[in-house]
Amino acid sequence: MQVPEQWLAVARFAELPNGNFKCFDVEGVSLLLCRVGERVFAVANNCPHQNLRMDKAIMQEYEIVCPHHGASFDIRDGRRLDGPSVFPLCGYPCRVVDSQVLVDVAHPETSMARHMEYLADRQKDKRTEP
């Protein structure tokens, strides 16, 4: 059985700082809403490296860096960019409608699919190394 979409209003677009993020708890899920210009991305507020909260992270453009061990991720797709984590950051479908930021917490973009993409890229990189 497929779970229906569950778009929940989490914040007003104007309350999100441009170039930074804000933490929200929605239906038992801790999220970071990250704003870059007119775009907003919803990611889990826990680093997949050791499941530690990321609400003290540093964000620059589309990169967010875990404050605990320096793992960094692309907020657009959760891809690991650097650091000790081998798993990508979990994200959630997110959109802005009538100045409201809506998030579908019922459909996390699971890290397993993202991890499989990461492993495929890693294998490709190993084949091209000298």
Question: Residue 118 above 70 pLDDT?
Answer: no
pLDDT tier, 4 (very low <50, low <70, confident <90, very high otherwise): low
CATH of domain 7-128: 2.102.10.10
Q: What is the pLDDT of residue 111?
A: 55
Question: Residue 27 above 70 pLDDT?
Answer: yes
Contact between residue 105 and residue 6 where contact means Cβ atoms under 8 Å apart:
yes
Q: What is the pLDDT of residue 125?
A: 65
**Mean pLDDT value across residues 24-39:** 96
pLDDT digits (tens, 9 = 90+) for 68-109: 999 999 999 899 999 998 889 999 999 999 999 999 988 888
Classify residue 75 as exposed, middle or buried by CB count within 10 Å of its CB (0-12, 13-18, 19+). buried
The residues, ordered by sequence, that sit 6+ positions from 88 with a Cβ below 8 Å of its Cβ are 48, 73, 77, 78, 79, 80, 111, 114, 115, 117, 118
pTM of the predicted protein model: 0.81
Q: What is the pLDDT of residue 101?
A: 97
Q: What is the pLDDT of residue 117?
A: 60
- For the chain, give the percent of residues with pLDDT over 90: 69
> In the predicted model, what is the mean pLDDT of the chain?
88
Domain map (residue ranges) of the chain: 7-128
Phi and psi dihedrals of 38, rounded to 5?
A: -95, 5
pLDDT tier, 1 (very low <50, low <70, confident <90, very high otherwise): low
